[in-house]
Amino acid sequence: MNFPQYRPRRLRKSAIIRKMVRETELSASDLILPLFVIHGSAVRNPITSMPGHYQYSVDLIGKEAKEAWEAGVSAVILFGIPAEKDEIGKSAFDSEGPVPLAIKAIKESIPEMLVITDVCMCEYTSHGHCGVLHNGYVDNDSTLELLGREALTHAEAGADMIAPSDMMDGRVGMIRKILDRNGYSEVPIMSYAAKYSSAYYGPFRDAAGSTPESGDRKSYQMDPANSNEAMREVALDIGEGADIVMVKPALPYLDIIRRVKDEFDYPVAAYNVSGEYSMVKAAAEKGWIDGEAVMMETLLSIKRAGADIIITYFAKEAAKLLKGS
């Protein structure tokens, strides 16, 4: 049908019609809020590059989770900042570390909250890499066992879901095996399957204190130029038992989100990362954009691209707006 018989504007006439034919709906239940948990007590350090976000100590994290819950957020993902860092990141599997304690604190404060944990070594190693260094190179296979222990520590503390973000080969299979052997076969894995080596992680590394001391993450995170390789990464993780596959970052990789959704038809998560958040906040602060409108359009675009789940620092703000709509 062509003009003048067909006039697309007919279905844009009123808010009611527009809503009726809307193809994508964003909902608060799609959103996961990242939280940074630091050792110590009574700590609430503002993260300067991420306005509205803080490093919380365990005693304050329950209250923060409750606020998020009341705003409409039903899931959080935890990142830990430990007191001690060493070459191999031993505090990653300390059952008294910030993440295990925070899981318990959040469950106590709001038992229904879905608590997901990020599993990686970079917050725990003195050199800031996501695995063990052998002659300056991140060694794959010896890192796997450490990741398995970290995941098990989180599961034992009550984590509802494990999210490995390290990009070592074979880690999903290793974590699945260790969880299963220890009675946690019901704990799902959301793998950072296609995680790119991205400059958009800048603010996060300030927040988590995880900037590599030397070098970069290009030998394990993906080359931003590659799309077919992302499909192979996703296929591997699914083969090893991933329940949800993630693409990260989100906005510069909407094409990857769409391909993963079309080619695998698995639950897809997208990580709207720190740099994506900070850019919006900075421009809004300057009055150059309408921050709220850009936030909602951004999240909607990620959903439209094919994501079922969005990890975003906007979760609380967006959930509040969605509640009102």
From the list 93-101, 102-110, 117-125, 235-243, the region that binds ligand PBG by CB under 6 A is 117-125
Smallest separation, CB 176 to ligand PBG (Å): 19
Alpha carbon distance 6, 26 (integer Å)? 29
* 77 conformational bin, left if phi > 0, alpha if psi -120 to 50, beta if neither: beta
Amino acid symbol at 27: S
Site string for ligand PBG, 165-194 (x = CB under 6 A): xx----------------------------
195 in catalytic set: yes
Nearer to ligand PBG, 62 or 275 (CB): 275
Q: How far, in Å, CA of 125 to CA of 68, rounded?
A: 30
Helix (H, G, I), strand (E, B) or coil at 142: helix
- Select from 90, 205, 304, 320 the one that contacts ligand PBG (CB under 6 A): 205
Is the N-terminal amide bond of 224 cis, ω within 30° of 0? no
> Which of 287, 283, 286, 226 has the alpha carbon at shortest distance from 298?
283
The span from the CA of 118 to the CA of 116, in Å, is: 7
The reply on whether position 69 binds ligand PBG by CB under 6 A is: no
Give the integer Cα–Cα distance in Å for 49 and 32: 20
Cβ closest to Zn ion, residue 110 vs residue 122: 122
Residue 252: closest CA among 266, 271, 267: 271
Task: Measure the CA–CA gap between 224 and 205, rounded to whole angstroms.
Answer: 19
| 130 belongs to the binding site for Zn ion (CB under 5 A) | yes
Is residue 132 involved in binding Zn ion (CB under 5 A)? no
Residues in CB range of 238: below 8 A, 6 or more apart: 193, 245, 264, 266
Instruction: Give me the residue whose beta carbon is nearest to ligand PBG.
Output: 204
CB of 121 to Zn ion, least distance (A): 6
Q: What are phi and psi of 56, to 5 degrees?
A: -110, 140
Options 118, 150, 237, 317; binder of ligand PBG; rule CB under 6 A: 118
Closest to ligand PBG by CB, 110 vs 281, is 281
Q: In the bound complex, what is the minimum distance in angstroms from residue 124's beta carbon to ligand PBG?
A: 11
Contacts of residue 101, defined as CB under 8 A and 6 or more positions apart, other chains included, come to 37, 58, 157
Among 122, 147, 174, 257, binds ligand PBG (CB under 6 A): 122
- Out of 195, 261, 281, 303, the active site residue is 195
Largest CA-CA distance found in the chain, in angstroms, rounded: 70
Q: In this chain, which of 196, 204, 253, 314 binds ligand PBG, going by CB under 6 A?
A: 204
Cis peptide before 4 (omega within 30 of 0): yes
The item of Zn ion, ligand PBG, none sharing an interface with residue 274, based on CB under 5 to 8 Å by kind, is: ligand PBG
Q: Which residues, numbered 107-126, are part of the site for Zn ion (CB under 5 A)?
A: 120, 122
- Please give the Cα distance from 235 to 191 (Å, whole number): 11
Residue in 225, 158, 216 with CA at minimum distance from that of residue 187: 158
| Active-site option among 85, 90, 107, 248 | 248
Give the residue with the Cβ less far from ligand PBG, 76 or 110.
76
In the set 73, 110, 120, 242, which binds ligand PBG (CB under 6 A)?
A: 120
Count of positions on this chain that bind ligand PBG (CB under 6 A): 11
The conformation of residue 25, written as its DSSP 8-state character, comes to -
Look up 248 and say whether it is catalytic. yes
Residue type, 103: I
Nearer to Zn ion, 130 or 152 (CB): 130
Of 92 and 110, which CB lies nearer to ligand PBG in the complex structure?
Answer: 92
Interface residues with Zn ion (CB under 5 A) are 120, 122, 130
Catalytic residue numbers, as ranges: 195, 248
- Which residues here bind ligand PBG, judged by CB under 6 A? 118, 120, 122, 130, 165-166, 201, 204-205, 273-274
